[in-house]
Amino acid sequence: QNNYYNLSKEIFKYMSLSKCNALLPITFFSHSSSAPASWLLKKLPTSSQNEEHPTQPAEAKNHQAKGSVSDVMDKAKKLIDAGKQTGKVKGGSKLDALFKHPLYNLPRPELQDDDWLLRVRTNEDPQEKKSYEKVTWTSDVETHPPWLRFHLGISRWELYNRTDHNLVQLTEYLATQRILGAVQKTGGTQLKLLLSFPNHGQALLKPMKQSRDAETDVNLFYFSDFERHNAEISAFHLDRLLGFNRIPPVIGRLINATSEIKDITTDHKLSKTFFKSPAGNVCFYGHCEYYCSTEHPVCGKPDGVEASLAAMLPDLTLAPRRSWRSPWRRSYSRTKLAQWEKDPEYCNSVKQTAPYNQGTRLVDLIDMTILDFLMSNMDRHHYETFEKFGNDTFLLHLDNGRGFGRHSQDEPSILAPLKQCCRIRHSTLLRLRLLSVPDFRLSDMMRDCLTQDPLTAVAPLLSEPHLAALDRRLATILKVVQTCQEKHKDVLYEDLGGYDADKL
Ligand SMILES: Nc1ncnc2c1ncn2[C@@H]1O[C@H](COP(=O)(O)OP(=O)(O)OP(=O)(O)O)[C@@H](O)[C@H]1O
Ligand SMILES: [Mn+2]
């Protein structure tokens, strides 16, 4: 389960058996910790094609050669290739133009050493150095697998740099790497799996449980709503389009429930829940609090299961995170109202309470509110930050599975923080305005982004009504801000520095 831990164990075992010529010693430093954790990584090939895992049986390598999963993946690849071509001429150029806009390239203060979550250092111990071949001492990023480069790219202000070429490699890695392990991940209330890949990468899998177009039952509370794989994927793209970069990369993948989960899992509790449905499809349900029962199975067609795969964040032992309860958390009760629902002056007390009384925390929370209103996610009870960065850092927008549940209706209560505080980052507001002009319409940008996902080959990740809802909700947000500006003076949190906003 613990990637780095297993990794180091494995490497140390390997070291005692060999002369370590093929090893790349790397030290990870977490600046906040007084005792930096030290790990060794195996030297990793740059190409993802020739990665092998010594314990994997040979036939597992060929599982993609047959069956409906590979057919769909072929189709997916063709579609993506076609999309790339047409994208250059039409849709893609709009998206490119959006990301080239100054609002997506605002100058940032240069990152200092302690603005990086992790750091690689080599040549630490001259004693140790003697036992290695000199050539193996390299911190060359080219030798790092995409998941590691993603971890090393996490900074105080964002989870990834949008222009980092590694993002493409990371999503390709998640979409294509052979799955070596699949176990249930504990924590949270619904079924999810932890996948492991060659080169020690991992992903968090959420399976599709209902059809994309099924709208959330109006009589279900938000806390009993199903999680949606397409919401996780769409949320990643939406967050990126808003210029936040606060959600770990997520891709869609068609998984073979038999060969990529049942046959390889070491999780006996999970494998015991597999069965064949009356229609002859492979199904499973696992163990969890909600919807892990024969009545709510995940079923393949006949064994292809749609799923979202999120890149895993660095292990908690290396990069501890802090979980914060949202001041606008819902009551999670069928009968009680939360304080913010009863007190129109609620924000005044939040504004005076740490950490919301300083820095960017309040406007960060408003950014998250905007993301959640757009996708209609009512389930943001907590958010997380990296402990290392203290209070001066971005908020991680994890767990977006309950977004995009209903397109025909908006949920105004999600906007409560914005309405009650009347505060917003200037750059966020300007990007929202940009996404409401016809050239950069949010729904069009989202449609384009989502066609890059492999699962688009199966069906569009968001139906047209969901895309249209984004434009409608964006207009609502802009109206709320306008109303605020008519009543208050200090609505804008100025983060454009010396930039002349009129020129943007
Ligand atoms: N990409 C990720 N990398 C590492 N850890 C993650 C990632 N995504 C989520 N987690 C962790 O796993 C936990 C459970 O994930 P998530 O919240 O998505 O599950 P959930 O079942 O929807 O939870 P809940 O029922 O509380 O809504 C999160 O609290 C978070 O700390
Ligand atoms: Mn959830």
* Distance in angstroms (rounded) separating the CA atoms of residues 286 and 272: 8
Strand 23-28: give its sheet, edge to edge: 38-42, 23-28, 120-121
Q: Ligand 2 centre from 367 Cα, in Å? A: 19
Q: Of 234, 250, 246, nearest to 377 (Cα)?
A: 234
Q: Best mutation site among 247, 399, 400, 402 for ligand 1, i.e. most ligand atoms within 8 A of its Cβ?
A: 399
Return the SS3 of 252.
strand
Number of Cβ within 10 Å of residue 121's Cβ equals 13
206 in a known ligand binding site:
yes
The answer to whether 48 touches 172, Cβ cutoff 8 Å, is: yes
Nearest CA to ligand 1 atom 19: 188
Is 410 assigned a catalytic role? no
The answer to whether 377 touches 402, Cβ cutoff 8 Å, is: yes
Question: Whose atoms come closest to the Cα of 291: which ligand?
Answer: 1
Ligand 1 atom at minimum distance from 290 CA: 25
Question: Whose atoms come closest to the Cα of 232: which ligand?
Answer: 1
Tokens linked to 106: 């605002």
Nearest CA to ligand 1 atom 12: 187
Strands 424-425 and 282-284: unpaired
pLDDT attached to residue 127 = 52
* Distance in angstroms (rounded) separating the CA atoms of residues 122 and 138: 7
Q: Ligand 1 centre from 125 Cα, in Å? A: 38
Question: Whose atoms come closest to the Cα of 184: which ligand?
Answer: 1
- HEC states along 303-350? CEEEEEEEECCCCCCCCCEEEEECCCCCCCCCCCCCHHHHCCCHHHHH
Tokens linked to 442: 């949010």
pLDDT attached to residue 225 = 83
Q: Ligand 1 centre from 466 Cα, in Å? A: 24
184 in a known ligand binding site:
no
Q: Best mutation site among 193, 246, 398, 402 for ligand 1, i.e. most ligand atoms within 8 A of its Cβ?
A: 398
Ligand 1 atom at minimum distance from 379 CA: 27
* Distance in angstroms (rounded) separating the CA atoms of residues 212 and 232: 12
Per-residue pLDDT of the chain (504 residues; tens, 9 = 90+): 344 434 433 333 322 222 222 333 344 444 333 222 223 232 223 333 333 333 333 333 333 333 345 554 565 455 445 444 443 444 458 999 999 999 999 988 899 999 999 987 655 555 544 433 333 334 667 789 999 999 999 999 999 999 999 999 999 999 999 999 999 998 778 999 999 999 899 999 999 988 887 888 888 887 778 889 999 999 999 999 999 999 999 999 999 999 999 999 999 999 999 999 999 999 999 999 888 999 899 999 999 999 999 999 999 999 999 999 999 999 988 889 999 999 999 999 999 999 999 999 999 999 999 999 999 999 999 999 999 999 999 999 999 999 999 999 999 999 999 999 999 999 999 999 999 999 999 999 999 999 999 999 999 999 999 999 999 999 999 999 999 999 999 999 999 976 666 665
Query: Residue 414 burial by CB count (10 A; 0-12/13-18/19+): exposed, middle or buried?
Result: buried
Tokens linked to 210: 């209902």
* Distance in angstroms (rounded) separating the CA atoms of residues 387 and 118: 12
b/e map 197-222, b = 16+ CB within 10 Å: bbbbbbbbbbbbbeebeeebeeeeeb
313 in a known ligand binding site:
yes
Q: Best mutation site among 204, 225, 296, 372 for ligand 1, i.e. most ligand atoms within 8 A of its Cβ?
A: 204
Of all helices (H) and strands (E), which one includes residue 253?
strand 250-256
The letter for the amino acid at 105 is: N
Number of Cβ within 10 Å of residue 455's Cβ equals 24
Q: Phi and psi (nearest 5°) for 329?
A: -60, 140
Enumerate the domain spans of the chain.
Answer: 321-503
* Distance in angstroms (rounded) separating the CA atoms of residues 394 and 417: 17
Whose structure tokens read 């189709």? Answer: 75
Q: Which residues line ligand 1 (CB under 6 A)?
A: 187-190, 192, 204, 227, 248, 310, 312-313, 379, 398-399, 401
Number of Cβ within 10 Å of residue 62's Cβ equals 9
* Distance in angstroms (rounded) separating the CA atoms of residues 480 and 485: 9
pLDDT attached to residue 20 = 27
Q: Phi and psi (nearest 5°) for 206?
A: -120, 125
Q: Of the listed 315, 364, 379, 453, which one is catalytic?
A: 379
Whose structure tokens read 């769409």? Answer: 234
pLDDT attached to residue 57 = 35
Kindly report whether the peptide bond that precedes residue 355 is cis, defined as omega within 30 degrees of 0. yes
Strand 275-276: give its sheet, edge to edge: 275-276, 282-284, 298-299
Ligand 1 atom at minimum distance from 206 CA: 18
Q: How far, CA to CA in Å, does 49 sit from each of 29, 46, 61, 254, 492?
A: 30, 9, 11, 19, 50
The answer to whether 481 touches 491, Cβ cutoff 8 Å, is: yes
Nearest CA to ligand 1 atom 16: 399
311 in a known ligand binding site:
yes
Q: Ligand 1 centre from 45 Cα, in Å? A: 30
Tokens linked to 79: 């579609």
- Beta-ladder partners of 205: 193, 309
Mutual orientation of helices 442-450 and 91-100 as an angle, nearest 10°? 110
Q: Phi and psi (nearest 5°) for 284?
A: -155, 165
- Cα diameter, the chain: 72
Q: Of 25, 56, 29, 17, nearest to 43 (Cα)?
A: 25
Question: Whose atoms come closest to the Cα of 195: which ligand?
Answer: 1
The answer to whether 45 touches 422, Cβ cutoff 8 Å, is: no
Task: List for the chain the helix, strand, coil content (%; round to 5).
Answer: 40, 15, 45
Number of Cβ within 10 Å of residue 398's Cβ equals 21
Q: Ligand 2 centre from 344 Cα, in Å? A: 28
190 in a known ligand binding site:
yes
Nearest CA to ligand 1 atom 17: 399
**What's the start-to-end Cα distance of the chain, in Å?**
47
